[in-house]
Structure 1
């Protein structure tokens, strides 16, 4: 990988790298070896229409890798991937990795503002998407960007612009396992989403260790219900963890219980992962849906705090299957374990998966708190990043001098070593499992000609956990909520980031040091229902699927 593309990548220090290698958690293999080490004749991935064995997945991935390199792409260059949950997602991801390219894992919901930012930040030379994103493709084609190629797959008329070469003659180029294998997208806390470089070594370990914790074997069948570019359904253990044990992944584009339950019955699915809002809906749906769910032994719930009452409802609806997951694309993953007592599963967010995870819980002055006391969680370890990509100024605040990542989560540690997440320090809204930086939306709001000041705050919501509330001080006639949403959408902001509540204030409350006092704004919000309140299960599915 060329030095210019590595500029802005923060590696683990040499002493830490050696420690992880000596302990056997880093094995110095490319990430793509998860499929080359798998049993070639076993089924690897399906999407309801197509199915591939591991041998077929590898052959298609190699054909794509050969085609990408023949088209002029070079090892180490970045490629933005924006694909839905289909077998094509697996083929493209593995093909890009086999070519020695580095995918940027964009979500299907991202729009021009985010995609353009990813391209510019990483100097991406290619963008791969499907026909769902034709509007975005046209916008990118007319923008002044360093893109050399746009590849569109799965068009309704059969068009597929992926460059496929000769898989029989393909030999993957060598890669450095300590270099980035892919970039995940962070919810961030300031401005646009930060990019998280995950190396071959750390992400292989992330997937393999997660599969071990969850007891996955070659007989397991995993339903990818959440967008597969997320860290949770990708490697916790997700698709990559299933590949690590030669298991079977079923890709799902419709997270409704009606459709999901049918897939569980059809494929005898044994494991899946949901965010709390979906878990609540799925639990309720077991009362009226008739599909046979007896094969499901592992129901992971994460992405946001799972309230105890909802966790207990899930325990009743899916006996013995619930696993709480607390983690972040930046690294640390905590799991409750199979066999934990129901109270532990219902009331905690689990414990770290690696014996080499180092955790600190500190007060506002950075001092370690005592057992059972609340504080901010700091972490470092073999699969936690040491810096966001090309974000030196942000990294200075996001990491301690010793290299601990400041998660921004308030937690307590139980005597048994499990974490309880009690709140958040970072200025984000966690909407249905999507962490959204308040500052990013605020910057866009301040571009509106009739807004003088703006603050984004979380609004509690029974189904999504939090919704996006906007408080503004206007310059003249204040815009309506509909006008604001239209304005932000026109600026290329993803739909899941659009405010769902608008409060117009005469003046913005401030703290003693002159900063906007968001706590006072939240306390002053009336308890009336949100203007965009969810009213049907279909609306919940649509919002989570965005």
Structure 2
């Protein structure tokens, strides 16, 4: 009998699943079992640090199991979904592990998401619960969660970290250690989910509107974690600083928080990557490994160049991914930060590529690495689907034991992104070198990559058309030295009408769109260029904005 979540999930073919088991990629264990294994081995070792909170492995296991049982006592059941919209902190980690133990499927929302995204995701996943902070940066997440609970039929439970209103559950009480750890462990082991069951939902970058849900099973995600831990050299001596939003696949499991906990290392959590706080935490905790997007890596380099000092002495490796790291910044990492750069190119849909720590400096600084698993299959193809030789850029196709075969309840998206024989097309244009390392050249789809956060042009355009005076709209990526890309909007308007950037920004704020999706530049033109088949020629628009920016820069000098 399949679970409700499994009904909307595309399964691996049975013969492939059997092969993955036979070759040891899938170990038929649940994610929570790895935490217990570590806790049995290193009970008194510190597992998790969040400010003044320091949690040992035995306490982590106790909190995880106690919370799992409390969630079930609240009325949640195995296979129910829960929206998790928490900032980086011990609460995020313990709640996620508790869901794994109870068989509840967390939906990994971002703290930046607002009503527009959350209502869609909650409805699509039919989530029964949502976990939120009370207030962050003057935004009342609890009030929004209550609003969602009143409007989404499936949602009947609000869990709040911090000051919870009387009708909501206080998350810190749910996550407290248990009085009977051994009993809780025995009971949860007896009712553990199937290793093939959905463990969590990650969110896609989404090129055609709102994010899609990516089902990751216990088996495939455990392998994702273990396969990425090897080339990053994760051991029980690893001290990991998590500053990127933990609900992203990269800081969660590549190897990220879960990889370090599987190995018995220590996870240090910070709400953000601001250099002064991050550097202080690195020095205080003896951090050896961290992860960053290119904009963060650049800020850290600039801060170190400005301030100097020896705060980063313990930092051995910094992973950089989320978007392409410019070669000139890559070359500064080792001399300025003193740590080995590991470039990471991957996707929440599966395939992860990394440079190896012992690669030549040229490979580390100019490529985005190669697959972490021998079982990862990669093809580079032209527009007709023909395989291309090394050195020729093309679209990447991939499949393997941790690359799912389709999105959740998204047949149209699956028909676009997956071939009938299971190859996933991410939309990335890459070039493969003869040594197997990949160089990311860009995207073949309508996507803006703002410092690692993916923005669908189509989604923003559809919202802008709500302004009556806008006759045509085209959202494109414009180059930015810090973030890589920012969102630029080209529009045409009705004769005599005037539409301002502020007007568009206000509309999107009122719609409840995440702040990182708000356009930062507006160009009003008489006519948008078109291709021969009548589509808006965005290639021409990208060239136009690059020229405008270059001209403005030249005039400002």
Q: 1:113 aligns with which of 102, 111, 116?
A: 116
In the alignment, does 2:206 pair up with 1:182? no
Q: Contact 1:478–1:504 (CA<8 Å) still a contact in 2?
A: no
Q: Contact 1:269–1:295 (CA<8 Å) still a contact in 2?
A: yes
Deviation readout 1:470-528 (Å, 9 max, x if unpaired): 11122352321111011011111100000011111222222111111111112222645
Q: Secondary structure at the match of 1:129?
A: strand
Question: Structure 2 regions of 5+ residues with no counterpart?
Answer: 136-140
In the alignment, does 2:510 pair up with 1:490? yes
Q: Contact 1:11–1:178 (CA<8 Å) still a contact in 2?
A: no
Instruction: Give the Cα–Cα distance (whole angstroms) in 1 for the partners of residues 32 and 192 of structure 2.
Output: 12
In the alignment, does 2:35 pair up with 1:35? yes
Q: Contact 1:29–1:200 (CA<8 Å) still a contact in 2?
A: yes
Residue 292 of structure 1: how far off its partner (Å):
2.3
| Equivalent residue runs for 1:290-329 within 5 Å | 290-329=309-348
Instruction: Give the Cα–Cα distance (whole angstroms) in 2 for the partners of residues 5 and 361 of structure 1.
Output: 32
Residue 260 of structure 1: how far off its partner (Å):
0.5
Q: 1:253 aligns with which of 245, 266, 271?
A: 271
Instruction: Give the Cα–Cα distance (whole angstroms) in 2 for the partners of residues 22 and 328 of structure 1.
Output: 26
**TM-score, length-normalised on structure 2?**
0.92
Question: Structure 1 regions of 5+ residues with no counterpart?
Answer: 534-546
Over 3 Å counting, the alpha-carbon distance change for 1:400 and 1:131 in structure 2 is same
Over 3 Å counting, the alpha-carbon distance change for 1:407 and 1:144 in structure 2 is closer
| Equivalent residue runs for 1:45-444 within 5 Å | 45-132=48-135, 133-155=141-163, 161-162=170-171, 164=174, 168=180, 169-170=183-184, 171-172=187-188, 173-287=191-305, 288-444=307-463
Residue 167 of structure 1: how far off its partner (Å):
5.6
Q: Secondary structure at the match of 2:31?
A: coil
**TM-score, length-normalised on structure 1?**
0.94
The structure where helix makes up a greater share of residues is: 2
Residue 293 of structure 1: how far off its partner (Å):
1.2
Q: Contact 1:323–1:338 (CA<8 Å) still a contact in 2?
A: yes
Instruction: Give the Cα–Cα distance (whole angstroms) in 1 for the partners of residues 200 and 427 of structure 2.
Output: 24
Instruction: Give the Cα–Cα distance (whole angstroms) in 1 for the partners of residues 163 and 144 of structure 2.
Output: 15
Deviation readout 1:346-378 (Å, 9 max, x if unpaired): 000011000000010001111001121111110
Q: Contact 1:429–1:466 (CA<8 Å) still a contact in 2?
A: yes
Residue 8 of structure 1: how far off its partner (Å):
1.9
Name whichever of 126-135 and 97-106 sits farther off: 126-135
Q: Contact 2:208–2:456 (CA<8 Å) still a contact in 1?
A: yes
Deviation readout 1:368-398 (Å, 9 max, x if unpaired): 0112111111000011111011110111010
Q: Contact 2:129–2:156 (CA<8 Å) still a contact in 1?
A: yes
Over 3 Å counting, the alpha-carbon distance change for 1:345 and 1:195 in structure 2 is same
Q: Secondary structure at the match of 1:213?
A: coil
Q: Contact 1:34–1:240 (CA<8 Å) still a contact in 2?
A: no
Residue 439 of structure 1: how far off its partner (Å):
1.1
Residue 138 of structure 1: how far off its partner (Å):
4.0
Could you tell me which residue of structure 2 aligns to residue 544 of structure 1? none
Instruction: Give the Cα–Cα distance (whole angstroms) in 1 for the partners of residues 336 and 94 of structure 2.
Output: 35
Over 3 Å counting, the alpha-carbon distance change for 1:167 and 1:289 in structure 2 is farther
Deviation readout 1:123-178 (Å, 9 max, x if unpaired): 10000111121342243244243201011112399996236395624222221211
Instruction: Give the Cα–Cα distance (whole angstroms) in 1 for the partners of residues 169 and 207 of structure 2.
Output: 37
Q: Contact 2:102–2:192 (CA<8 Å) still a contact in 1?
A: no
Instruction: Give the Cα–Cα distance (whole angstroms) in 2 for the partners of residues 350 and 382 of structure 1.
Output: 19
Could you tell me which residue of structure 2 aligns to residue 511 of structure 1? 531
Q: Secondary structure at the match of 1:197?
A: strand
Instruction: Give the Cα–Cα distance (whole angstroms) in 2 for the partners of residues 418 and 192 of structure 1.
Output: 32
Q: Contact 2:288–2:316 (CA<8 Å) still a contact in 1?
A: yes
In the alignment, does 2:545 pair up with 1:525? yes
Could you tell me which residue of structure 2 aligns to residue 536 of structure 1? none
Instruction: Give the Cα–Cα distance (whole angstroms) in 1 for the partners of residues 80 and 249 of structure 2.
Output: 21
Instruction: Give the Cα–Cα distance (whole angstroms) in 2 for the partners of residues 461 and 495 of structure 1.
Output: 17
Over 3 Å counting, the alpha-carbon distance change for 1:88 and 1:4 in structure 2 is closer
Aligned Cα root-mean-square deviation (Å): 1.9
Instruction: Give the Cα–Cα distance (whole angstroms) in 1 for the partners of residues 251 and 377 of structure 2.
Output: 24
Residue 192 of structure 1: how far off its partner (Å):
0.5
Instruction: Give the Cα–Cα distance (whole angstroms) in 2 for the partners of residues 33 and 427 of structure 1.
Output: 40
Q: Contact 1:31–1:97 (CA<8 Å) still a contact in 2?
A: yes
Name whichever of 171-180 and 418-427 sits farther off: 171-180
Instruction: Give the Cα–Cα distance (whole angstroms) in 2 for the partners of residues 5 and 18 of structure 1.
Output: 22
